[in-house]
């Protein structure tokens, strides 16, 4: 919200659509005032409803599976365990040093 506001105001400034007395200092003061207003309302830096929903759904999935699913290290560890399991199973069946086909 703030970024769009600042971008729109910046564009108007450079396109000459603001009064001639509107300089870069007034531009920054206007953006700062918008920031202060959003902070005072408690809306700046908060999650959007869509972000809240994603977090809730992720938590539900993690709670149902008993695993953290959104952590890359978990994926790496799971992948490494699976690879080690396949190697161990293969060695038991064919013996070490045999090619896997």
> pLDDT tens, 72-91?
555 455 555 555 555 555 55
DSSP state of 90: H
pLDDT digits (tens, 9 = 90+) for 19-37: 988 898 999 999 999 999 9
CA atoms of 83 and 88, how far apart (whole Å): 9
CA atoms of 12 and 30, how far apart (whole Å): 13
Half-sphere exposure (Cβ direction) of 29: Cα atoms closer than 13 Å: 5
Half-sphere exposure (Cβ direction) of 99: Cα atoms closer than 13 Å: 1
Q: What is the pTM of this model?
A: 0.46
Contact 43, 65 (CB under 8 A): no
């Amino acid at each position: 919200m703030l970024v769009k506001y600042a971008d729109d105001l910046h564009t108007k400034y450079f396109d000459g659509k603001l009064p001639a007395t509107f300089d870069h200092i007034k531009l920054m003061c206007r953006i700062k005032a918008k920031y202060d207003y959003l902070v005072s309302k408690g809306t700046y830096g908060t999650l959007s409803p869509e972000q809240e929903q994603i977090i809730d759904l992720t938590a539900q999935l993690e709670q149902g599976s008993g695993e953290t699913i959104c952590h890359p290290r978990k994926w790496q560890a799971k992948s490494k365990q699976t690879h080690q399991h396949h190697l161990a199973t293969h060695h038991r069946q064919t013996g070490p040093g045999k090619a896997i086909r």
